[in-house]
Amino acid sequence: MSGIEAARQVLRDNDRGGYSVPTDRLYPFQWNWDSAFVAMGFATFDPGRAWSEIEWLLRGQWEDGLVPQIVFHAPADTYFPGPEVWGIRREPPTSGITQPPVLATAARRVLAASPGPEGEARMAAVYPRLRDSHRWWAAARDPGGTGLVATLHPWETGMDNSPAWDAALDRVPTDTRTEIRRRDTSHVDPAFRPRAIDYQRFIHLVEVFRDAGWDPARMLAASPFRVADVGTNAILLRAEQDLLALADRFGSPAEAAEIAARIDRAAPALEKLWDAARGHYLSRDLVSGEAIPVRTSAGFLPLFAGQAGHAAALADTLRRWAEAARFRVPSTDPGHPLFEPLRYWRGPVWAVVNWMIAEGLRRCGEVALAEAVAADTRALIAAGGFSEYFDPRTGQGIGGATFSWTAAVALLLEPGAA
């Protein structure tokens, strides 16, 4: 079986009848940003199924526009925390937090792969939901109109246990009323996963939000974890640009002006996260007001949003990291004392982040380095399979196997991909 056909087969195998799970058993539900990448992967060979992925995710959207982190379409007992921990009475049940907003970017790419009446009709139905999602980000997570949105839980950043969150997480108590019954460590070596104390804090935050009745303003006020995550903000800025392009075709002039105004606030605000001394974009702790002095792969993502002013400096950083780690791009600076090459977001390479970094490098004129990142990603998948993540020193595939978004990236990296 060719690499292309193998990647397509992973997506087919993880299909649950219109939506995809990230991988069997370890993650048995539909995840927000996973599905955005899955949709782009399906678009390379089955645009109709790509639209279905987006539409099923949006079945979980709340009336205020929130697109949740998890949609629990069908029961499963192989993942914690399940819907009973979130305590949200909706159909389908969902979690009460979100993830990086890749969806508008994905929808625009799916549209490009499905020209014609069907694609236009399905995009016309999806566009208002995307519009409402972006309005939710502005109202719920940047009510002061600063141009930077807050994330209230490490899970919302997508980079759950990054060392960038350590200091902010230290403020979060470890006591919980919920019995923690982790399932992940029965599927994957615990050395590759977040620590037990991390999960205590993760669940404590869920309880804080549950006690706040999932009201955005109360959650924002109550959360001891509040960060302006550079990755989330860069992905949102890119998604706003894609939403603006869609609004010109599927929205109104007033909506286009609204989106453009948010872009005009967000782009200079994102630049304020640049740290000249470290030559990197850094997240900011919104409780202390201080920059978080840990360089991570998220700090390259402003390139994905077309922020080209520091492209040369970021390219230099990537080259230095490549001298310390065989494969690009480790999720944490390999020279940092908290770098752990095997533990989840504390060091391993993630194909989806590599794809966004390569897209950003190409967009900002660093074409040769973009291809080097893409080539490393192809090599990792060739050697380590469609793994959840990879050891940046050896290329070993670790975490979950036959991962949907890794297979999607393999398809996106093929010449002529949609």
Q: Is 186 helix (H, G, I), strand (E, B) or coil?
A: helix
Q: Judge whether 220 and 136 are in contact, CB under 8 Å.
A: no
Among 158, 46, 29, 25, which Cα is nearest to 103's? 158
The rounded distance, in Å, linking the Cα atoms of 378 and 376 is 5
Q: Which residues contact 177 (CB under 8 A, 6 or more apart)?
A: 207
CA distance 146 to 144: 6
Q: What is the dihedral of CA 34, 27, 176, 157, to 10 degrees?
A: -20
Look at residue 115 and give its three-state secondary structure: coil
388 is an active site residue: yes
Distance CA 273, CA 148 (A): 10
Cβ atoms of residues 121 and 127 within 8 Å = no
CA–CA gap between residue 66 and residue 78 (Å, rounded): 25
Q: Is 160 a catalytic residue?
A: yes
Amino acid at 359: E
Task: Determine contact, residues 283/273, Cβ cutoff 8 Å.
Answer: yes
CA distance linking residue 403 with residue 351, whole number of Å: 10
Nearest Cα to Cα of residue 192 among 61, 368, 331, 302: 331
Which residues are CB-neighbours of 406 under 8 A, at least 6 positions away? Answer: 10, 351, 352, 381, 386, 387, 388
Q: Is the dihedral of CA 159, 107, 43, 39 positive or negative?
A: positive
Amino acid at 315: A
Q: State the CB neighbour count (10 A cutoff) for residue 81.
A: 19
Of the residues 53, 376, 388, 391, only one is catalytic, namely 388
From the list 160, 198, 333, 366, the catalytic residue is: 160
The angle formed by the CA atoms of residues 87, 53 and 28, to the nearest 5 degrees, is 45
> With contact defined as beta carbons under 8 Å apart, do 218 and 235 qualify?
no
CB 197 within 8 A of CB 381: no
Active site (catalytic) residues: 160, 388
